[in-house]
Amino acid sequence: MTTSDALVSVADFRSDTVTAPTPAMREAMAQAKVGDDVFDEDPTVHELQALGAERLGQEAALFLPSGTMANVVAIALQARRGDEVLLEEASHPYLFEGGGTAWIVGAQPRPIPSDRGRISPETVLEYIRPLNDHFPRTTLLCVENSHNMHGGTVVPLTRMRELRTVCDEHGLKLHLDGARLFNAAHAAGEPVKAFAEVADTVSISLAKGLGGPVGSLLAGSRAAITEARRIRKVLGGGMRQAGVIAAAGLVALREGPTWLGEDHRRAHDFAAGIREIAEHFDIEERLEAAEPETNMVFVRLPYDEEAYTPIVEALAAQQVRVIALPGRGMRFVFHHQITDEHVRRALDAIRDAVAKNLRA
Ligand SMILES: Cc1ncc(COP(=O)(O)O)c(C=O)c1O
């Protein structure tokens, strides 16, 4: 059994980052034309960056090793030391990127509330500091779309445009953390470009819903991306024969968007299955799964955090991997290596675990 066979046979719902490269990706990697990308001479990286810029409707794009680096580069580009950066309070750069905004950029992150990731223009207005020597300057708004910790929720295009207007009126730049922007756009039935064009900078992950093994793209104006390249170098993100991984990224960018519909359909089927289980055991108050907007389902057992442990363990015994996130529930993330059989297996394991652990 190869590593990828082993990965596929386990139903791994922990994240959409766990996918193994497809045979087409491996083949592209083996055949990739490469050069030294720190000398800006890697033709495959150039091709990926050009395709990314085109898909995102921006002048230029830069290949980076991770979404975390893409976010911190975008923030460093658009906020100075001592500036204030508005970040949704459960957003990835605020919660999960090691405090890079403060640590690396030296800007002050200000968490702002939202309705499940959908920041309102009124909230942004409320949080923009007046111009006064006492206050930090508010220079950047970051929007995450789809929103991971709110369960893969989508910030609609109309809302994105309203946020753009507020930013323009108050001199703020807008960074779109679109690690899963293709999922959001697919769910919204809008072109990815339409979302990306709203932002000054936009990052997308090649290694999440799109299924590639490594890397992100950051896109923006040519001037912004020239500067981003310099910041990436400072952070140690200049990669030499990066065409080897960019080749897989190209396959992900071309093919990945085509399988998102099935991922979202499976997420929907799974959530419906959870609601059936809750109904069957008459525990709708205690076992919940909101209808997913994209590729994530958070299964909540709201009455008791500790109730997750036996269920997570029972699932693991059935080769179903999942993580429990404190306060949010068990997160099931759908990706192209999750099959209908995996969905059935997960539901069967949850039904058994519920029968054993919750009924009493
Ligand atoms: C919304 C969002 N942004 C950024 C990142 C960071 O990406 P990476 O893991 O490639 O650093 C993640 C990772 O899960 C994410 O969910």
Residues 109, 169 within the same domain: yes
* Among the listed residues 166, 83, 181, 89, the one whose alpha carbon sits nearest the alpha carbon of residue 122: 166
201 lines ligand 1 (CB under 6 A): no
Q: Which atom of ligand 1 is nearest to the CA of 69?
A: 11
147 CB near ligand 1 (under 6 Å): no
Q: Are residues 245 and 123 in the same domain?
A: yes
Neighbours of 84 (CB within 10 A): 21
Q: Decide: 88 in ligand 1 pocket, CB within 6 A.
A: no
For 23, 71, 214, 236, 269, the CA distances from 65, given in Å and listed in that order, are: 21, 11, 7, 10, 33
Which is the closest atom of ligand 1 to the Cα of 65? 10
Q: Do both 247 and 264 map to the same domain?
A: no
Q: How far is the CA of 97 from the centre of ligand 1 (A)?
A: 8
Mean pLDDT of the chain: 94
Residue 355 neighbours by CB under 8 Å, 6+ apart? 281
**92 CB near ligand 1 (under 6 Å):** yes
What's the domain range around 90? Answer: 21-255
Mark whether 192 and 273 lie in a shared domain: no
pLDDT of residue 311: 86
- Residue 354, pLDDT > 50, answer yes
Task: Indicate the residue among 228, 255, 282 that finishes a domain.
Answer: 255
The whole-number pLDDT of residue 301 equals 79
User: Does 172 share its domain with 196?
Assistant: yes
* In a shared domain, residues 135 and 51: yes
Is any ligand 1 atom within 6 A of the Cβ of residue 145?
Answer: no
177 in a domain, yes or no?
A: yes
Q: Please count the CA atoms within 13 angstroms of the CA of 110 that sit on its side-chain side.
A: 20
- Would you say the CB of residue 4 lies under 6 angstroms from ligand 1? no
| Residue 291 and residue 144 share a domain | no
In a domain, 286, yes or no: yes
Do 54 and 167 belong together in one domain?
yes
Beta carbon of 67 within 6 Å of any ligand 1 atom:
yes
Instruction: Tell me how many domains the chain contains.
Output: 2
Are both 236 and 295 inside the same structural domain?
no
What pLDDT was estimated at residue 1?
41
Which residue's alpha carbon is at the smallest distance from atom 9 of ligand 1?
67
Listed range (158-167, 246-255, 313-322) with the worst mean pLDDT: 313-322
C-alpha closest to that of 199 among 156, 148, 164, 153 = 164
Is pLDDT at 2 greater than 50 in this prediction?
no
Read off the CATH number of the domain in which 326 is found: 3.90.1150.10
In a domain, 54, yes or no: yes
Mean pLDDT of 272-298: 93
Residue 285 forms part of a structural domain: yes
In a domain, 16, yes or no: no
Mean pLDDT value across residues 188-198: 98
CB 237 within 8 A of CB 100: no
State residue 11's pLDDT score: 97
Separation of CA 18 and ligand 1 centre (Å) = 13
Token output for 30? 């083996």
Q: Is residue 12 part of a domain?
A: no
69 lies in the same domain as 166:
yes
Q: What is the pTM of this model?
A: 0.95
**CA gap 19, 316 in Å, rounded:** 18
Neighbours of 348 (CB within 10 A): 14
Answer whether 48's CB lies under 8 Å from 214's CB. Answer: no
Beta-bridged to residue 325, according to DSSP, are 329
Residues 265, 250 within the same domain: no
